Amino acid sequence: MPTPQALPAPAASGLPVATVILKPKRARPFFGRHPWVLDAAVARVEGSPADGDVVDLATHDGKFIARGLWNSASRLRVRLYTFAAEVTLDDALWRARLESAVALRRSLGLDARDGAARLVNSEGDDLSGLIVDRYGDYLAVQVTALAMARRLDTLSATLMDLVAPRGILLRGADRGLAKLEGLQLPDRLLCGTAPEGPIFVREHGLTFGVDLTEGQKTGYYLDQRDNRQAAARYARGRRVLDMFCYSGGFAVACAVTGAARSVLAVDGSSRATALAKANAELNGAANVAVETADAFEKLDALRDGGERFGMVILDPPKFARSRATAEDALRAYHRINRVGVDLLDPGGILVTCSCSGSVSRDAFLEMLGGVAQRAGRPLQFLECRGAGPDHPVSASCLEGEYLKCVIARVA
Ligand code: SAH
């Protein structure tokens, strides 16, 4: 696998070096501005683009549709970045897109120096394949497209200029994705200096330590920021179970902001539970107990031991990697939610999440309907939430909508 660093830098002009011709009748999604051209839709390529080069997309009879970046190693052959023939994919365009992304977060009030927010959300910010998270004075970048990897120098220089962080770190892409794109990117420092230890960021008045070099994702689950706050509003006086707690975001919000009676936070990773413990202490939450255990076993053990809670939070990792595994994922969601409901007192609150993009919101809600039926206890949906507004979703690429967070009351 070539490292993107070994590839020549893309031509600065941003002009196409080749034209990708679609098969007949395959152009419709792109007239709808969908940004992903799969290999199966491509009839032929006129020219010989290198991976990451600028190409035009044309109908089978040669009419311009869009302009994007080529990757022969990916099933996602072309990622589209403009549908206007006069727009070139040069540094000025990337800069304008980054400026627009930064301006959105500023307008959302998510630009406090000691705060954290997603600055760039891939297709949601018209920058397919690029994710940038800001944690205080540092940025963590993830690239999921080879074409973005080839442009990392200019992208990080622009980010330095626009946001002036102390350092920008590259976090290696998800291993599965990396394989799909033919990308091999070890973690490294792109600009400035790396933090010496954890970074401390503020979220809705609480403080969380984030490990930028070792943590999951880019170090923290920013997408759940507002959901942690929403859950906390129901926690008052309740005994709370935070299952799959990672660094304790929900647990701490419920204990401190929500004034829960007590919280039991559980995660399978001891690194995660160490972070959760530290974050509970940092926020003076003495009533948070943290335990390292497998969620499936722990849920069964709590139920069999006759334990009851006033609130159960379930925020598991992605159960479905693709549509093919969505059914299996739904069975796993059913299983944990069924036990979650069994653990709740009458009138208890279930906060249940799914970050599997291939499990639709409707399918997730129907699964919960099945749980209510099997448990013989009506479930009332109080809030059906998603990721926060710093995770925008493009109306032309609904694949970007992945997070479900349902708050429900159990009879
Ligand atoms: N709620 C967290 C994010 C949870 S991410 C927050 O707000 O920050 C999902 C978590 O599930 C990860 O921390 C992972 O370590 C944990 N996990 C994955 N499989 C698990 C299992 N079988 N048992 C317990 N925890 C598990």
**Active-site annotation holds for 245:** no
Give residue 50's pLDDT: 95
Under the banding of pLDDT at 50, 70 and 90, the label for residue 97 is very high
Residue 7 scores a pLDDT above 70: no
Rounded average pLDDT over 140-147: 92
Give residue 8's pLDDT: 59
Among 6-15, 89-98, 231-240, 320-329, the least confident range: 6-15
Give residue 41's pLDDT: 98
d(CA 159, CA 36): 25
Give residue 1's pLDDT: 44
Residue 237 scores a pLDDT above 60: yes
368-399 confidence digits (pLDDT tens): 999 999 999 999 999 999 999 999 999 999 99
Give residue 219's pLDDT: 85
Rounded average pLDDT over 167-184: 79
**Mean pLDDT score across all residues of the chain:** 94
Residue 402 scores a pLDDT above 50: yes
Residue 321 scores a pLDDT above 90: no
Rounded average pLDDT over 314-333: 92
How many C-beta atoms lie closer than 10 Å to residue 220's C-beta?
26
**In degrees rounded to 5, what are phi and psi of residue 7?**
-80, 150
d(CA 292, CA 206): 23
Under the banding of pLDDT at 50, 70 and 90, the label for residue 324 is confident
Radius of gyration (C-alpha) of the chain in whole angstroms: 23
How far does the centroid of ligand 1 lie from the alpha carbon of residue 29, in Å?
A: 36
How far does the centroid of ligand 1 lie from the alpha carbon of residue 192, in Å?
A: 31
Under the banding of pLDDT at 50, 70 and 90, the label for residue 111 is very high
Decide: 371 and 338 in contact? Cβ < 8 Å. yes
How far does the centroid of ligand 1 lie from the alpha carbon of residue 190, in Å?
A: 29
Residue 151 scores a pLDDT above 50: yes
CB of residue 268 inside a 6 A radius of ligand 1:
yes
Rounded average pLDDT over 72-90: 96
Residue 190 scores a pLDDT above 70: yes
* Atom 7 of ligand 1, residue of closest alpha carbon: 249
Rounded to whole angstroms, the maximal C-alpha distance in the chain is 68
d(CA 49, CA 284): 57
- Residue 183, sorted as left (phi over 0), alpha (psi -120 to 50) or beta, turns out to be beta
Give residue 99's pLDDT: 98
Q: Which atom of ligand 1 is nearest to the CA of 227?
A: 7
CB of residue 295 inside a 6 A radius of ligand 1:
yes
CB of residue 226 inside a 6 A radius of ligand 1:
no
CB of residue 317 inside a 6 A radius of ligand 1:
yes
How far does the centroid of ligand 1 lie from the alpha carbon of residue 318, in Å?
A: 9
> Exactly one of 191, 355, 397, 405 is catalytic; which is it?
355
- The distance in angstroms from the start CA to the end CA of the chain is 55
CB of residue 294 inside a 6 A radius of ligand 1:
yes
CB of residue 269 inside a 6 A radius of ligand 1:
yes
Give residue 251's pLDDT: 98
CB of residue 208 inside a 6 A radius of ligand 1:
no
CA dihedral 124, 121, 353, 222 (to 10 degrees): -150
Give residue 213's pLDDT: 82
Under the banding of pLDDT at 50, 70 and 90, the label for residue 6 is low
Higher pLDDT among residues 100 and 175, named by residue: 100
Under the banding of pLDDT at 50, 70 and 90, the label for residue 2 is very low
Residue 177 scores a pLDDT above 80: no
How far does the centroid of ligand 1 lie from the alpha carbon of residue 295, in Å?
A: 8
Higher pLDDT among residues 236 and 211, named by residue: 236
244-294 confidence digits (pLDDT tens): 999 999 999 999 999 999 999 999 999 999 999 999 999 999 999 999 999
